[in-house]
């Protein structure tokens, strides 16, 4: 498994540990979800989306009123008074929204106030226009047409009060904004989307929302389905990049540490998965530290090397023992290798996801190809890792030379040499990945069928 597709570290100790705190999340399609949970999630999500739309519309309404005040139309006392009324009811709607008042009542009152203001202004303009027409008719300039009937006046007022016919730009933009917040849409189907689409890893985001709503999950540690996996390095990197980007998207949009409804243990379990991708930045320091010491003799910490490594080495040993104990025989080494070896992928995932969430830059969704792409060796895909391996190897030689001439301390040099060797062993998995030719199942033989 040179590409680490089986992920025994994740689909083992990690998921089992999360399951102990009711925080195991489903990944992909190999899961069973209760219909009640999905329906509740969809309904709650729809209500939350409507509420967010209302907040945006009310904010847009206030902005439209401010722009209207700066225009020449607001010089009219009647227009200024009605703008004040619209601004007042908008502010009251925001207060009622915070208090949890019915969304339909809030939107109804705001729209009623705006519609009434438009009706009043249009009626005033139309009355003035009708008076002018009547005066013209009385002067004999329009002898063939008499004054309009009362029902014709009402029909004309209602017609001109519509947004398309309104001559009042001061309130037209406000009314256009508020058209979007009406929750009484009897002629439309209400969309119910249970899956969380805030990230390309909608499975994790959906699981987190379900846990926040009080639902329980169970992780069944047994292989019940076998699916397709990447067959080359390029495909694997595409898949890992998408997973990491989606996880960071969830972290930036719905941080589990601040998500309501979750227990503190669940918050920590989700956050542990999300912040693990930030290790790509730490890996740069982790790789640079032994290089700097071996080449320049500068310690990575402000401590005597002997005192530091007496404490550091037992920590690393216990760390590996913990992996072995928690893994219960599972092969977790491949996961440890890729957690460090793919540091450029994790850094790219963090930066691109942040640009997407904060600045709206498109992220793109790359579906993992189901077949091997080409037959060439994609060494360029691991160029940063190859450079790191070259620097580590060069530092190893320089460090041994400095030790021989007495410029480096023996204990510090030997420990850093072991550190470099460990890093090179970790990065060696990428050499296997580049040279991997894809999965080739053994051909099954069957007895000949008698004719």
Cα–Cα distances in angstroms (integers) from residue 136 to residues 141, 280, 310, 323, in the given order: 6, 81, 104, 95
b vs e for 305-340, b when ≥16 Cβ sit within 10 Å of the residue's Cβ? beebbeebeeeeeeeeeebeeebeebebbbbbbbbb
Q: Please say whether the beta carbons of 342 and 336 come within 8 A.
A: no
CA distance 133 to 167: 18
DSSP 369: P
Q: Which residue has the tokens 């067959």?
A: 231
pLDDT attached to residue 72: 62
CA distance 101 to 82: 25
pLDDT in tens for each of the 451 residues of the chain? Answer: 888 888 888 888 899 999 999 999 998 778 899 999 999 998 888 888 888 888 888 888 788 777 777 766 666 777 778 778 888 888 898 899 888 888 888 888 888 887 787 777 777 766 766 666 566 555 544 445 555 455 555 555 554 444 344 445 556 656 665 565 566 655 666 667 788 888 888 999 999 999 999 999 999 998 888 888 888 899 899 999 999 999 999 999 999 999 999 999 999 999 999 999 999 999 999 999 999 999 998 877 776 667 777 888 899 889 888 888 888 878 888 888 999 999 999 999 999 999 999 998 888 666 666 566 656 678 999 999 999 999 999 999 999 999 998 888 888 888 899 999 999 999 999 999 998 877 766 544 445 444 4
DSSP 183: -
CA distance 144 to 14: 89
CA distance 412 to 420: 12
Cα–Cα distances in angstroms (integers) from residue 32 to residues 38, 137, 310, in the given order: 11, 77, 49
Domain definitions of the chain by residue range: 10-24+227-435, 40-181
């Amino acid at each position: 498994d040179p590409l680490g597709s089986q992920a025994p570290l994740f689909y083992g100790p990690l998921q089992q540990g999360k399951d102990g705190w009711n925080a195991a999340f489903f990944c992909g399609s190999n899961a069973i979800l209760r219909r009640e949970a999905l329906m509740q999630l969809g309904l709650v999500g729809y209500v939350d989306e409507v509420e967010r739309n209302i907040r945006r519309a009310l904010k847009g309404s206030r902005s439209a009123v401010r722009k209207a005040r700066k225009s020449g139309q607001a010089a009219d006392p009647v227009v200024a008074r009605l703008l004040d009324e619209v601004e007042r009811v908008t502010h009251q709607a925001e207060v009622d929204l915070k208090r949890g008042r019915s969304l339909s009542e809030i939107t109804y009152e705001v729209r009623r106030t705006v519609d009434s203001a438009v009706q009043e202004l249009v009626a005033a303009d139309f009355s003035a226009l009708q008076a002018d027409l009547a005066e013209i008719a009385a002067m004999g300039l329009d002898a063939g047409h008499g004054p309009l009937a009362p029902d014709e006046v009402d029909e004309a007022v209602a017609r001109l009060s519509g947004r398309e016919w309104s001559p009042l730009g001061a309130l037209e933009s406000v009314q256009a904004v508020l058209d979007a917040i009406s929750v009484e849409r009897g002629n439309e189907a209400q969309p119910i989307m249970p899956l969380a689409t805030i990230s390309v890893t909608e499975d994790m985001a959906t699981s987190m929302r379900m846990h926040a709503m009080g639902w329980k999950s169970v992780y069944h540690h047994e292989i019940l389905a076998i699916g397709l996996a990447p067959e080359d390095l390029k495909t694997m990197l595409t898949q890992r990049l998408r997973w990491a980007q989606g996880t960071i998207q969830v972290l930036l949009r719905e941080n589990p540490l601040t998500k309501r409804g979750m227990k503190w243990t669940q918050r920590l379990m989700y956050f542990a998965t999300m912040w693990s991708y930030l290790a790509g930045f730490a890996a740069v320091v982790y790789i640079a530290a032994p290089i700097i010491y071996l080449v320049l003799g500068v310690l990575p910490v402000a401590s005597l090397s002997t005192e530091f490594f007496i404490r550091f080495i037992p920590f690393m040993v216990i760390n590996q023992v913990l992996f072995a104990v928690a893994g219960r025989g599972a092969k977790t080494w491949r996961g440890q290798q890729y957690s460090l070896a793919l540091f450029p992928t994790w850094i790219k995932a963090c930066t691109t996801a942040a640009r997407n969430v904060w600045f709206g830059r498109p992220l793109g969704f790359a579906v993992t190809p189901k077949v091997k792409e080409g037959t060439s060796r994609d060494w360029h895909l691991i160029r940063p890792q190859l450079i790191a391996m070259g620097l580590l190897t060069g530092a190893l030689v320089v460090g041994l030379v400095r030790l021989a001439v007495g410029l480096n301390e023996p204990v510090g040099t030997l420990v850093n040499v072991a550190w470099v060797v460990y890093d090179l062993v970790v990065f060696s998995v990428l050499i296997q990945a580049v040279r991997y030719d894809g999965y080739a199942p053994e051909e099954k033989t069957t007895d000949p069928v008698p004719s």
